[in-house]
Every structure is written in structure tokens, then in C-alpha cells.
Structure 1
């Protein structure tokens, strides 16, 4: 992909799943990759795979809901590699499954803090760093739950709708300054998060999979590749967009 080689990219949630696959693809394309996650062991495995393939990568233990840790993440990218060009703000959690009228307040706060506040904080520190180096590209992970409702997941659905709103706003604010901001909305992807959801609410998960027209789960690399493409110069006229990658689920 054009424009990736020699750049620096941050990937949050890079210790597994979609984030890991995106980090590996950035590495394959010749980017320096900062792998950020609360899962340090998983992040170290991602970094080892990038280095084994001849790439360059660094781990930063990061809780995306903590402003100080997010600022340190961005500082590490700039201090280590000289600039920040791309960011894939992908870290997220699913939370508990309960109806809105009974939903635990602590779960609401935790999901919003990670999924929505975490994306805001990431952009809050990434954007100034990108402006310093003349521009860049940001991709935020939403979900099909950012486009349609899913019963019993009110904080998750609200957070993912919010990510799309944040993405559009930042795209309008900074497109004239050389920063593109887009989102992706994955469907049901074969990740550890989906595996946990399968255990917690198997009926809803099976119904969602059965309603996917393409007839299978998505693979993490299919989402990771799309995130890297959105960062590349191949997508140079794309900003404020939400790319839905869901096997046709929300087209129905």
C-alpha cells in the first residue's frame, strides 16, 4: 500500500484479534509499529511476530481510559521513531449483557470509559503529534452496534454509536490540516471478544451469525487490512467515512 513504508503507527488493542492483525500488516508494509494494550504479554507476542518478519515494533502498556497513559503512548511513538503518522484506535471491551433498565452502573461507566472516552483520549493526544509532522491518518473501531441496536448491550451500543460521531467531527475539524479520520464497523469477527460473547449470550450470538448473509464469521485480518488501507495514500480522498465490514448484516 502506498505511503506506509517508513511511517510510524500506533495500534491500540494490539495484543490480540483485530488489533494484532492490523499491527502485523503495518509491519509487513514497512511501518514502525507501537503496540499498545493492557495485555502486555499479548502485545509482546505481536511485537515478536513483527520483528521475526523483519519489521520494527515497540510495546507500550496502555489503559486507553487513563489520560496519562495515553499521553505516554503517543510520547513513546514520537520519542522512539521521530513522528506519528497513523493511529488505529481499536481497543475495546464488550461489557456485561443486561437490559437498559437493569444495567449495572459500574459496567456502563467501564464500557464508556474504554470504548468511547478511550477513542477521544487517543485522538486528543494523537492529533497534535500528527500536526507537528504535517498530517496523518486515524482509524477508529466502531461496530455494527454503532449502526443498529443489539438488545441488552446498551453501553456497548451507545459507545460505538459515539465513536462514529467523534470520527465525523474530527474529520471535519482536521481534514484541512492534513489529517484524515475514518471509522470501521466490523460485524461478527472471529476474535476473543466474540468468543466471550458466545459464552455469555450464546442465543444472541448464534442469531447474529445466522443473520449474516455471507454465511460465516469475519476474520481479524480482513478488518486489519481495511484499517491499514484507510491509513494509506490509496485512501487519500476518504475522510469522515464509516467502512462497514460485516458480511452484509446491516444491508438487510
Structure 2
């Protein structure tokens, strides 16, 4: 699918070299946006650049304030605007019961998922305020609106980014900046394979049993794919979503629980 719904717009997508970020970058490019992405995976960034020569790439950790500040300054210098920000960067965090959580692993999860989201917004917000326009999406999770057994750091971080989006929508609405949250369900792909393997090790269940339990958590009995999230992000960052702000969108096949069923 190609079009011009983002023609003339400049978008920054964090963790844009794989998974949801990659699918979103590809969808935005197909709609004629100028796209910049950052990621920690040098090889994946190189592949994206080879496939899409127009894309602007940065290798960095979103929890590194100076790196984030420099990236956003460079994008603004190159293009003179930033119209859309998709805060997608995140890590899974430690899997295990609360009494076994390690504080260093907890802090690393919070640094990327929460502080990284805050830092990109800290430096993009002044640009959008000067433009009197902008669309921001925080990628949370169904874990950001439900409890999630054995995933305390991840759940806490994803609840936090929902709260940040709600707060920023209130704070920046008068500047015509819209801020929303997308809460994906279980997204098929390499990352979910790793999550399932970790949960199988913690619970003693087989990976097949864990996968079936994930499917049963949704009314539609399904996993979703990254392109489903990209399509929702496109709507919210395009003019079609011009009055949509402060909302939490579940794209999850009607998830009813994250407990094992």
C-alpha cells in the first residue's frame, strides 16, 4: 500500500530497525514521509539503510541523554521540523517472581522503557511547540493496562508510558500537539519467541503451552503482527487523526487477561 498521507511530514521512530519500529518506518515511508530511525543494532540499521536509502539512521541507546539530544538536533538541522515521534524503544525486562527480581535489571528496564521515552519527548517537544503541531505515540503494551505475572519491571514500565502520554496530551494540547498510546497484544516475531522461551524456563511449561496460553488470553484467539501496529500509528500521525489525543488504543485481538489460562 502506498499513498501520500504523510507527504511533507518528518517522523522519528525509536528502535526502528526491527519489529514494530521497522514495520512503522516502512508504513510511513510508503505514505511519503521523511523518516529517521534510531536503534542499537548496527547491522539492522545498515540493512534498513541499504533497503531504504532515503531513511536517516542513528545508532544509540535512548537512555543516553546526550546521544538523544544530538540526534534530535541533527534531524531538526537537516529537515527543519519533526512532525511525528513514535516512542517504540523498549526491552522485555527480567522474567521471574517478584522476590527474584534483580535491582540492576529492574533499573535497566526502566532506563530504556521509561527514561528513554521521556528523553526523546524532552527534546522533540520544543520543536513541536515552535511549530504549533505534532503527533506523538508511546508504544506501551496490554501489560500497561493489565497485570502481568512474572513480568513486574516490564508491566511497571509500560504503565508508566501510558501515564506519560496522558500527561503530555494535557500539557501540550494548546500547542496542537497530540499524544496517544498504542497497547499491542502478543506480536508474532523473534522477540515473542524469546519472551516465550524465558517464561517457559521460569514456569516449567513448554514453549508450545505458553504460546497457546497467549492465544487464549484474547477473545479472537490470535497473535497480531507488527503491521497491525504500524497501521494504527499511521492513522494517529496522519491528518485523519487530527483530533485524537490522550487516548489508549489496544491492538490486541480483544485481550481479556494476561494471566495464564
TM-score range, shorter chain: over 0.9
Residues 1-252 of structure 1: matches in 2 within 5 Å? Answer: 4-51=6-53, 56-202=54-200, 203=205, 204-250=210-256
1:250 match: secondary structure? coil
Deviations 1:71-102 (A, max 9, x none): 11211211222211101010001022111122
Query: Relative to 1, partners in 2 of residues 1:2 and 1:166: Cα closer, same or farther, differing over 3 Å?
Result: farther
| Rounded Cα–Cα distance in structure 1 between residues aligned with 2:197 and 2:184 | 20
Deviations 1:25-54 (A, max 9, x none): 111111111011111221222233333xxx
1:249 match: secondary structure? coil
Figure out how many residues of one structure are paired with residues of the other and give that number.
248
Query: Relative to 1, partners in 2 of residues 1:138 and 1:23: Cα closer, same or farther, differing over 3 Å?
Result: same
2:44 match: secondary structure? helix
Deviations 1:199-228 (A, max 9, x none): 111344541223222222101011011112
Structure 1 gaps of 5+ residues are none
1:215 match: secondary structure? coil
| Rounded Cα–Cα distance in structure 1 between residues aligned with 2:10 and 2:168 | 20
| Rounded Cα–Cα distance in structure 2 between residues aligned with 1:213 and 1:43 | 36
| Rounded Cα–Cα distance in structure 1 between residues aligned with 2:4 and 2:176 | 16
| Rounded Cα–Cα distance in structure 2 between residues aligned with 1:80 and 1:191 | 34
2:232 match: secondary structure? helix
Shift of 1:249: 0.8
2:52 match: secondary structure? helix
1:152 match: secondary structure? coil
Are the equivalent residues in 1 in contact too, given 2:14–2:38 (CA < 8 A)? Answer: yes
Instruction: State the Cα RMSD in Å.
Output: 1.7
Are the equivalent residues in 2 in contact too, given 1:2–1:233 (CA < 8 A)? Answer: no
Structure 2 gaps of 5+ residues are none
- Bigger radius of gyration: 2
Shift of 1:108: 0.4
| Rounded Cα–Cα distance in structure 2 between residues aligned with 1:201 and 1:210 | 16
Query: Relative to 1, partners in 2 of residues 1:95 and 1:239: Cα closer, same or farther, differing over 3 Å?
Result: same
